[in-house]
Amino acid sequence: MREYLEASRWKRLAYRLARSPLVLFGLAPFYVFLIEQRFPSRAVGKRERRGVYWTNGALLLIVAVMSLTIGIKAYVLIQLPVIMFAGTAGIWLFYVQHQFEDVQWERREDWDYARAALDGSSFYKLPKVLQWFTGNIGFHHIHHLSPTIPNYRLEKCHRATPMFQQVEPVTLWRSLKSLSFRLWDEQRRQLVGFGRLKTVRREMSSPRAGR
């Protein structure tokens, strides 16, 4: 929050735009899945790079075959709604898994692996049908603690370990509150909305703040 208040007007505007639901869940999915992830990161190895290249090649082949089979117009009309729905759902899941009520964020010097996994990642308790369709991704706290556990074992691991059952779940209804979270208030140690900025500005400008 303090970094936001100390940023330039243009940076604050850019941040507000990036955090708006229209950009976050409307435009971001197209950028992330159609553009950003089509280029391998410089930090990954040769195997990961080849994986991205092979994936891109397979996607191009699918587009070419389907366009020749049913026509480019029909293919685009089918794919756009699918990409939009799946992409928005994917971004929402990533968003809720790290931005929820009672989440804990730490700066690098105070960061702890186990605590970051259990308190910084959500247990998104979805209805059974959605849990199946999302591949048990709601057990995100366990995934962060041990990424090698396959998704079909996550629920069994959760039930067998008392420590995991102590993590408070985020329900589908409760997760909607995450839409209002915009900034991390380090003093209160909680995510807040832009409305909190008015109170902070008054506190910073009060005579007591200058003492």
pLDDT tier at 157 (50, 70, 90 boundaries)? very high
State the chain's mean pLDDT as an integer.
90
User: In DSSP terms, which residues pair with 190 in a beta bridge?
Assistant: 185
Say what the pLDDT of residue 163 is: 87
Q: How many CB atoms lie within 10 A of CB 36?
A: 11
Q: How far apart are CA 141 and CA 147, in angstroms?
A: 10
Task: Look at the block and give the residue holding tokens 């971004």.
Answer: 91
Distance in angstroms (rounded) separating the CA atoms of residues 23 and 29: 9
What pLDDT sits at residue 123? 94
Instruction: Find all residues with CB under 8 Å of 101, minimum gap 6, and list them.
Output: 170, 174, 177, 178, 190, 191
* pLDDT tens figures, 4-51: 989 999 999 999 999 999 999 999 998 988 899 999 888 888 999 999
What is the C-alpha separation between 187 and 170, in angstroms, rounded? 24
pLDDT in tens, 177-202: 999 999 999 888 999 998 888 777 77
How far apart, in whole angstroms, are the C-alpha atoms of residue 58 and residue 43? 23
pLDDT of residue 187: 86
Cα 26 to Cα 88: distance, rounded to the nearest angstrom? 7
Domain ranges of the chain: 20-98
